[in-house]
Amino acid sequence: MSLTGSLSNALSGMNVTQRGLEILARNVSNAGTPGYHSQSQTLIERSGDVSSSVRSAGISRAFDESLQRHYGNQISSSGYAQVRADFLVQLESFLGKPGDASSLDTMYANFESAIQSMATSPDDFSTRAAALTSAGALADRLNALSVNIQNLRRDTESQMQSLVSGLNGDLSNLRAVNSRLTEFSYDDGARSALLDERDRLVASIAEVIDVNATYRDNGSVRLLTRSGVGILDNQQSVFSFTNGGVLSANSLYSSVSSENGVGSLSLRTSAGLPLDLVGQGILQSGRLGALIELRDDSLVQAQSQLDDIAASLAQALSNVDVASSPATSGAQSGFDIDLGSLQPGNSFVLNYTEGGNPNTVRVVRVDDASLLPMDNVGPDGVRTIGLDFSGGIAAVAASLNATLGGAINVSNPAGSVLRVLDDGVAATSDIDGLNASFTASNLQDGNLALPLFVDTANSAFSNSLDGIGQKTGFAGRISINSAIEQDNSLLVKFDVNSPMGDASRANHIWNALSDTQFQGEVTSTKSMGRNQLSGNVSALVSQMLSFQGASIEKTQSVQATQGLSMEALSNRMDEKYGVDVDKEMALLMELQTAYAANARVMSTVQELLNTLMRI
Amino acid sequence: MIVNKSMFSTSSSYYNIERMRQTFDDLQVQLATGKKAQTLSDMGGTRSTSIDLRHQLSRIDSFQENITMVGTRLDLIDLVVQRVDTIESEVRSFAAADSAGENQVNLTTAQGYARSHMDELINLLNTKFAERHMFAGNRTEQPPVKGMDVLLNGEGGRDGFRTVVSERKAADAGASGLGRLELSRAANVVTIDEDGTHPFGYKLSGASTDSLGVTAGTIGGGPPSLDITFNSPPNVGEKVFVSLTLPDGSSKTLEFSATLSATPSAGEFQVGATNDDTAANFEAALQNKLLGETSTTLNAASVFAAADNFFNGNGETIQRVDGPPFNSATALQAATPTDTVVWYEGSSSGDPRKSVAARIADKASVGYGVEGNEKGFLELMRSLASVAVETFSLGDTTAEARYDALTDRQMDRLAESNNNRPGSVEVIAMELGVVRNTMGSYKDLNNGYATQVETVISGLEDASLEEVAIRIQTLQVRLQASYQTMSIVSQLSLVNYMR
């Protein structure tokens, strides 16, 4: 071994020590930088003929692919939970806590109490005014909640819009990073910085949509959604979102673009193929997934529960029962009923026994041909049939007669009267009951029922199913009949001559509120699978609040869980990727010593060389 | 973008401290509000129970409010009913039999007395509480009874009680003043005929005699008639009785005794030379007697009959004499609201208590309606009006007899024995007492139930102060320890020890 060999060995030692210091300085300075992965130098021994020097094998960056993948998934789930929690907490604050003055249950209870006071003092103007005020406050509250919910839906859209533009930006940045990573002209330090940037971008994308990242050897990354749609490879897909503008309860998602009432979120793949992200259910998690779920499901359900409450309020007060009268023809017996007052959405119920089995059929007036034929059996066993009444009762009778089979005879003896008879001598069927109800539209026709809560422009709410259905968004439109607002004695005087002290109408309202039972109707497949409210009005209110409370609670607990997992994962990443300053300092001392030692070797070699030269 | 930014910059111990801090804040809020949950979602599984219980509570509250409200109304009704009862007994004692008083002082004051009481009764029946007329059943928006002047004298083309009475008097008295009877004699037979089939005047109800010489026939024919046949001269002191029914339903038996005196006093007839003469004398005596009775007893009966027709009770229509001419009228006709004052305009029902009801529990309600035309008020009103409409002047020879006939009837109608009849003032007071009692027990029941419900709600929702305090204490210790540790750990860095 020669002196020059020693010299070059010492030189190489000083070299890598300098490199090491450089990396150390980078690590220490970036100790607090988010997304910075600690770097380290790999040293290898180079043994030559005369020397055995050290050389740097490059900088290695702390990275664990499986941890990274796990992190990507967790970020999506956390983002999903976070967005849901953010929105539902807002909904919660709108709903208020039961017992609060502005909570729906308190307002309803106030309304009921006011009606009860009115039943005791129907002649007192201020008591009636108080009843009307509390009814108005209830309607206003429903309106306000509707608006709040629809505003939340609109917020989801504006968030989607900004998320989509951020997403596209991230994707194109990531594509640029990908292409730069494939070039090998960068030195290791710059490359590490690029990889940090890559991981930051992937995390940022994963937060918005659920993606699977595949890392190639050259460091570039390929992104797929969890459902398998390619988002970024060599080419990038482009997300686009068109805002639905002001959303109302009627604005619902539909895969048919002409019927779609909300903003559309689509993806143009690198192959140029357009994909409807909502309809295909491509997004399962991430912030966007949560926003879509909120806009098209959670918030829509909250609205429909409010609509149920509004509809039950209106109907409980305005439903007028029509009694049937017994009818016979030869050996056949059954009932006659006058269906003249039935409006679209009103219905009559037929109970009959056939072959020993009791059956209940509800026939709803549906004049919208696009909804027909309608024939569903609900979970409670009630068969709901929709029929068009606009062609007269004869057509209804003929159609029902054909539907119900030979043992039940339905006819139209005269006018708007419907007659249902059993099969007489054969005695395989019996008609057990026939009842109808219609929506009162007059305030003083002698009926105790009254249209206190009405739809827009004072029109009666009959829960018509025609079109998109009168119930859709009714909570946003429900208001107090302006005729009653002008003259609150109409709350008492069900007839022009009825005395002011007559509490019949107030009692009717009170009884109707407590006794009228509502059942989620199965009128179309759309309404299946939703959480159905049932019971009297107060039960609906209580169920709605309980349901929403439970779902908010669940969302919050999911968010807390996700937060904890995220935290655990962060700790793990901190251990793996983070910069431990103590370790770096120890290394610094080591490097310092190594440098000094190498320098000492060099100076010794130099002295030796000098000594040699002087000889 | 929160997730990314804090990738590995903060240590986990900080998260823990943050969480503890959060819990600390929550506990502080619990301590301040005394409630476990501050939001809908915090309430957890008790959510629907709590909502339902609150609803129950609000219902109970409204029932309690009803009970209080009805209690106040009953207080007022009680006062009025008591006063009406007092008026009734005052009137009764004033009308005690033969109460014309010394120097007939009562006679002259009777009308004024009746009027002032009637006025008071009307005011009482029109009692208003918070714009609500308490004695109008459920037609509470207007005073149920018209003012006394309107009732007696009419208003705006509609006739009052006075007119109805005078028509009735005319119809009952008839043109001849014989109370719509006709007397005739054929030889020894005196025939008494009613002058037609109608509700007016005297109605024959029978005749009898204790004389063997006289035959009192039976009532027959239509219109009814009665024969009294003198077959042989009756002995002195033997009597013939003719019984009549008066328009107000009372009856009067006319008594005639045989005398030999040529100047028979009222109620006597001279036994004549022949049976025909005796019959003629009897006819004359009968005629005199009838004329006298018509101006006194029948007069009073007419007033009361008119009162029965004018002051109608539940299910009755106001009726007046179909005329003119009135003295030969043969029927009553229903009055119309345009020709006759309607005395009571409140609601009228078979069960007045049910006309106004208040719910005092989920499935219980009490009826506490009172209607001004209930029997007790009605009879008092009729008697007072009957006296109020009559004039008794000292110069009037019939005055005292008329007054006695009127007060007799008044006594009869206001007798304590009527107290147990439905609708009497006493029965009303008693029924309302029962209502008050029922309400009292329901009030206690509701209170008990409300307390129970409140306890349950409080158990569900209220935070236990001790528990919260202890948790805060524990948390404080942990938090302090964490801070301490963190500050020590943060100083432990190699950097500090390098030179």
Type of residue numbered A166: G
In this structure, chain A runs to a length of 615
Q: How confident is the model at residue A288 (pLDDT cuts 50, 70, 90)?
A: very high
Look at the block and give the residue holding tokens 């569900």. B460
Would you say residue A523 has pLDDT above 50? no
B7 → chain A, closest CA residue: A34
- Interchain contact A582–B (C-beta under 8 A): yes
Q: Which of A76, A78, A121 to mutate to test the interface with B (most CBs of B within 10 A)?
A: A121
Query: How would you write A363-384 as a 3-class SS string?
Result: EEECCCHHHCCEEEECCCCCEE
Say if CB A307 and CB A139 are below 8 A apart: no
Using a 10 angstrom Cβ sphere, with 0-12 exposed, 13-18 middle and 19 or more buried, the burial of residue B103 is exposed
pLDDT digits (tens, 9 = 90+) for A137-190: 999 999 999 999 999 999 999 999 999 999 999 999 999 999 888 887 777 778
In angstroms, what separates the C-alpha of A290 from chain B's closest C-alpha?
15
Distance CA(B416)–CA(B407), nearest Å, equals 15
Arithmetic mean of pLDDT over chain A: 87
Among the partner residues A109, A570, A586, nearest to B55 by beta-carbon distance: A109
Q: Percentage helix, strand, coil, to 5, in chain A?
A: 50, 20, 30
A44-53, A387-396, B335-344, range with the lowest pLDDT:
A44-53
Domain locations in chain A as residue ranges: 3-62+578-614, 320-499
Report residue A96: phi and psi, to 5°. 75, 170
Among the partner residues A99, A120, A588, nearest to B66 by beta-carbon distance: A120
Would you say residue B281 has pLDDT above 50? yes
Cα distances (Å, whole numbers) of residue A287 to A90, A162, B87, B290 = 16, 11, 84, 110
pLDDT digits (tens, 9 = 90+) for B34-80: 888 888 888 877 888 888 899 999 999 999 999 999 999 999 999 99
Report residue A242: phi and psi, to 5°. -105, 125
Distance CA(B119)–CA(B148), nearest Å, equals 6
The pLDDT of residue A531 is 60
Overall number of domains in chain B: 2
pLDDT digits (tens, 9 = 90+) for A550-601: 889 999 999 989 988 888 888 888 888 888 888 889 999 999 999 999 999 9
Q: To which H or E segment does residue A266 belong?
A: strand A264-268
Say if CB B41 and CB A549 are below 8 A apart: yes
All residues of chain A having their beta carbon less than 8 Å from the beta carbon of residue B50 are 98-99
Report residue A579: phi and psi, to 5°. -100, 120
Between chains, do A501 and B132 touch, taking CB under 8 Å as contact? yes
Closest by CA to B382, choosing from B136, B173, B117, is: B117
B40 → chain A, closest CA residue: A97
Chain A, residues 542-571, CB within 8 A of chain B, namely 542-543, 545-546, 548-550, 552-553, 556, 566-567, 570-571
Would you say residue B83 has pLDDT above 80? yes
Say if CB A542 and CB B54 are below 8 A apart: no
Between chains, do A549 and B494 touch, taking CB under 8 Å as contact? no
- Interchain contact A605–B (C-beta under 8 A): no
Distance CA(A51)–CA(A393), nearest Å, equals 110
The pLDDT of residue B2 is 39
Among the partner residues A97, A113, A500, nearest to B140 by beta-carbon distance: A500
A87-91, A464-468, A501-505, B302-306, range with the lowest pLDDT:
A464-468
pLDDT digits (tens, 9 = 90+) for B146-161: 898 998 898 888 999 9
Tokens of A191: 């490359």
- Interchain contact A593–B (C-beta under 8 A): no
Query: How would you write A27-80 as a 3-class SS string?
Result: HHHCCCCCCCCCEEEEEEEEECCCCEEEEEEEEEECCCHHHHHHHHHHHHHHHH
The pLDDT of residue B1 is 31
Would you say residue A465 has pLDDT above 90? no
**Where in A422-510 does DSSP place strands (E)?**
429-439, 453-454, 479-480
- Interchain contact A82–B (C-beta under 8 A): yes
> What are the CB-based long-range contacts (under 8 Å, 24+) for B437-441?
B438/B360, B438/B364, B438/B366, B439/B67, B439/B70, B439/B71, B439/B74, B439/B360, B439/B366
Look at the block and give the residue holding tokens 């049910």. B354
A156-170, B92-106, B385-399, range with the lowest pLDDT:
B92-106
Q: Which letter does DSSP use for residue A426 in this model?
A: G
pLDDT digits (tens, 9 = 90+) for B159-206: 999 999 999 988 988 888 888 888 888 888 888 888 888 888 888 888
Distance CA(B339)–CA(A590), nearest Å, equals 126
Tokens of A484: 């009653």
The pLDDT of residue B103 is 62
Residue B46 lies in a domain: no
Distance CA(A213)–CA(B352), nearest Å, equals 84
All residues of chain B having their beta carbon less than 8 Å from the beta carbon of residue A499 are 136-141, 347
Count interface pairs A-B at CB distance under 8 A.
Answer: 182
Q: Which of B5, B16, B62, B496 to mutate to test the interface with A (most CBs of A within 10 A)?
A: B62
Between chains, do B12 and A556 touch, taking CB under 8 Å as contact? no
Between chains, do A567 and B12 touch, taking CB under 8 Å as contact? yes
Q: How confident is the model at residue B407 (pLDDT cuts 50, 70, 90)?
A: confident
Closest by CA to A107, choosing from A60, A58, A141, is: A141
Angle, helices A299-318 vs A537-577, to 10°: value is 170
Between chains, do A97 and B347 touch, taking CB under 8 Å as contact? no
Tokens of A551: 């779902």
Q: Which letter does DSSP use for residue A352 in this model?
A: E
The pLDDT of residue B325 is 85
B359 has which bridge partners? B365
Would you say residue B98 has pLDDT above 70? no
- CA angle, B330 then B336 then B340, to 5°: 90
Between chains, do A123 and B140 touch, taking CB under 8 Å as contact? yes
The pLDDT of residue B5 is 42
Distance CA(B370)–CA(B392), nearest Å, equals 35
Look at the block and give the residue holding tokens 């169920």. A543
Report residue B184: phi and psi, to 5°. -145, 160
Angle, helices A188-208 vs A286-293, to 10°: value is 10
Angle, helices B105-125 vs B47-94, to 10°: value is 170
Tokens of A561: 């869980």
In angstroms, what separates the C-alpha of A82 from chain B's closest C-alpha?
10
The pLDDT of residue A287 is 92
Would you say residue A280 has pLDDT above 60? yes
Distance CA(B323)–CA(B154), nearest Å, equals 18
Q: Which domain holds residue B254?
A: 148-298+306-343
B15 → chain A, closest CA residue: A567
Q: What is the ipTM of this complex?
A: 0.79
Question: What's the whole-number mean pLDDT along residues A76-90?
Answer: 92
The pLDDT of residue B10 is 53
Question: What's the whole-number mean pLDDT along residues B302-324?
Answer: 88
The pLDDT of residue B6 is 44
All residues of chain B having their beta carbon less than 8 Å from the beta carbon of residue A501 are 132, 136-141, 347, 355-356
